[in-house]
Amino acid sequence: MTKQKRPELLAPAGTLEKMKMAILYGADAVYLGGQAFGLRALGGNFTDAELREAVAFAHARGKKVYVTVNVYPHDGDMDGLPEYLRFLERIHVDALLVADLGVFSVARDVVPSLPLHVSTQANTVNVAAVRAWKALGAQRVVLARELSLREIAAIRSAVDVELEMFVHGAMCISMSGRCLLSAYMTGRDANRGACAQSCRWRYALMEEQRPGEYFPIDEDEHGTYIMNSKDLCLLPYLTDVIATGVDSLKIEGRMKSVHYVASVTKAYRAAIDAYSADPAQFAINSAWTTELGKVSHRPYTTGFALHRATADDQIYGSSSYEQTSDFIGLVRSYDAATGWATVEQRNHMRVGEEIELFQPTLAGFRQTLGEMTDEAGVPIDRAPHPQQIVHIRMEQPVEPYAIVRRDV
């Protein structure tokens, strides 16, 4: 087997906390957005001070930060763009993620030294388009989700610019996110960062002359989720993914939880490292796929990677998520001398239940939650208050940013 180059693992960062978790749990780079010009208006996003802190945190650990400037702006939305781009250059972000040709052009003129990555929203699906973006000055092109692995490999063999592809996360019903449903139905423009997730709603058919009579669309009497895609998961096919020769593997999810970012990033990190260490003997470890089931997700699909998407890649019965673990706490510090950890509660927890510790670098373990006190050191048997600070006696060493969770 010919050993392929080790691809970058690129993780989402909707907030500063998620950004730190992504880096600590194994991402080579993160992508995130500021307060403007990105496509996740509801994703938390970063203030200027947080952007500075994120870049410093990543660079101190040899990691990279890519900032999304991938909105499709109307003329009135362009105000302040040059100043924002100059700010990003001053704080030394590693690249800008851009979709609109106008924004791309402004960036080339205003911050010519900043690398530009062409967003998946640009819908790049062919060699000619990749070459055109490179000719304009792009360092990297993020390929559309609608491409198969065979098509991606063919593009890779024909171009000499960096390529990035999605390997995990939510799939959009429209061409790589270029959706009009939300704007039409709610006035919230997905292409300007305010998607209302209209494709996930329950739909039924109503005839104009029969108001109030709702007709099912095949599935059941309650309606159907006709545009509700399953989530992408290509980890079981990592050998084939790496064989395409792409430079970066991207995880979707800037609006997902801390638990999601940490767990998915660590699973793919372990898989990529195992492949890189010994491609000939590489095999998927069931622990990695089990980990991907612990976080909140829709049922998984391979999307367009292996074949054309079919009805089996959609969810018709509900828009609900599934998971096998609940995220209940985040370790803030640990006293090795006493064995007590300071934990920030993220979900109700109580003495006597079994908990699992999932950690950035140390081995995970399970134990019974035996002793717990409040922040003042007073013994308690439960922690019901959101983000309550508690102390828990640990049976093994833990590290900051370790996740405390329990089986569902």
* CATH number, domain with residue 396: 2.40.30.10
Are residues 233 and 358 both part of a single domain? no
* Residue numbers of the domain that contains 157: 8-175+228-308
Secondary structure tally for the chain: helices H, strands E: 10, 21
Angle at 321 between CA 320 and CA 327, to 5 degrees: 135
Tokens found for residue 41: 């208006």
Under DSSP, the state recorded for 177 is: G
pLDDT in tens, 316-343: 566 567 899 999 999 999 999 999 999 9
Burial of 211: CB neighbours in 10 Å, binned 0-12, 13-18, 19+: exposed
166 touches 120 (CB < 8 A): yes
Tokens found for residue 377: 């050191």
* CATH number, domain with residue 81: 3.20.20.70
Let me know if residue 21 belongs to a domain.
yes
Picking from 40, 261, 232, the residue whose alpha carbon sits closest to that of residue 147 is 232
Place 191 in a pLDDT band, splitting at 50, 70 and 90. Answer: low
Let me know if residue 1 belongs to a domain.
no
pLDDT in tens, 3-13: 578 999 999 99
Q: How many CA atoms lie within 13 A of 151 on its CB side?
A: 17
Mention every residue, 6+ apart, whose C-beta is less than 8 A from residue 337: none
Average pLDDT over residues 67-73: 91
Are residues 239 and 338 both part of a single domain? no
Let me know if residue 210 belongs to a domain.
no
| Predicted structure pTM score | 0.87
Select from 281, 308, 335 the last residue of a domain: 308
Are residues 140 and 79 both part of a single domain? yes
Place of tokens 């096998």: 324
Higher pLDDT, 404 or 36: 404
Are residues 282 and 396 both part of a single domain? no
Fill in the amino acid letter for 237: Y
Confidence check: pLDDT of 105 > 50: yes
Let me know if residue 99 belongs to a domain.
yes
State the Cα–Cα distance between residues 106 and 108, nearest whole angstrom: 5
Are residues 243 and 381 both part of a single domain? no
Place of tokens 């670098």: 361
E strand or H helix that includes residue 357:
strand 354-358
Picking from 27, 79, 81, 36, the residue whose alpha carbon sits closest to that of residue 54 is 27
Higher pLDDT, 285 or 175: 285
- Predicted local confidence at residue 1, as pLDDT: 44
Are residues 245 and 372 both part of a single domain? no
299 touches 318 (CB < 8 A): no
Select from 308, 335, 351 the last residue of a domain: 308
User: Strands 365-368 and 205-206, how do they pair?
Assistant: unpaired
Confidence check: pLDDT of 218 > 70: no
Are residues 137 and 284 both part of a single domain? yes
Let me know if residue 91 belongs to a domain.
yes
Average pLDDT over residues 96-108: 96
Are residues 43 and 140 both part of a single domain? yes
Let me know if residue 187 belongs to a domain.
no
Higher pLDDT, 187 or 120: 120
Higher pLDDT, 204 or 340: 340
Give the number of domains in the chain.
2
Place 204 in a pLDDT band, splitting at 50, 70 and 90. Answer: confident
Under DSSP, the state recorded for 279 is: G
- Predicted local confidence at residue 28, as pLDDT: 98
Let me know if residue 49 belongs to a domain.
yes
Place of tokens 């270029």: 178
Mention every residue, 6+ apart, whose C-beta is less than 8 A from residue 42: 194, 255
State the Cα–Cα distance between residues 361 and 402, nearest whole angstrom: 9
Tokens found for residue 189: 């423009």
Tokens found for residue 347: 């979900």
State the Cα–Cα distance between residues 258 and 156, nearest whole angstrom: 33
- Predicted local confidence at residue 223, as pLDDT: 54
Picking from 104, 160, 98, 165, the residue whose alpha carbon sits closest to that of residue 136 is 104
State how far the alpha carbon of 67 is from the alpha carbons of 51, 144, 207, 356, in Å: 9, 19, 46, 34
Are residues 271 and 350 both part of a single domain? no
Range in 27-31, 34-38, 226-230, 311-315 the model is least confident about: 311-315
* Per-residue burial over 114-123, b = 16 or more CB atoms within 10 Å of its CB, e = otherwise: bbbbbbbbbb
- Predicted local confidence at residue 2, as pLDDT: 52
Are residues 259 and 389 both part of a single domain? no
State the Cα–Cα distance between residues 30 and 35, nearest whole angstrom: 17
State the Cα–Cα distance between residues 63 and 397, nearest whole angstrom: 26
Fill in the amino acid letter for 361: T
Confidence check: pLDDT of 314 > 70: no
Are residues 255 and 400 both part of a single domain? no
Are residues 140 and 278 both part of a single domain? yes
Let me know if residue 234 belongs to a domain.
yes
Q: In 91-126, which ranges are continuous DSSP H helix?
A: 101-110
Picking from 147, 141, 149, the residue whose alpha carbon sits closest to that of residue 116 is 141
Average pLDDT over residues 169-191: 71
pLDDT in tens, 113-132: 999 999 998 999 999 999 99
State the Cα–Cα distance between residues 51 and 32, nearest whole angstrom: 9
* Cβ count near 127 (within 10 Å): 15
Place 233 in a pLDDT band, splitting at 50, 70 and 90. Answer: very high
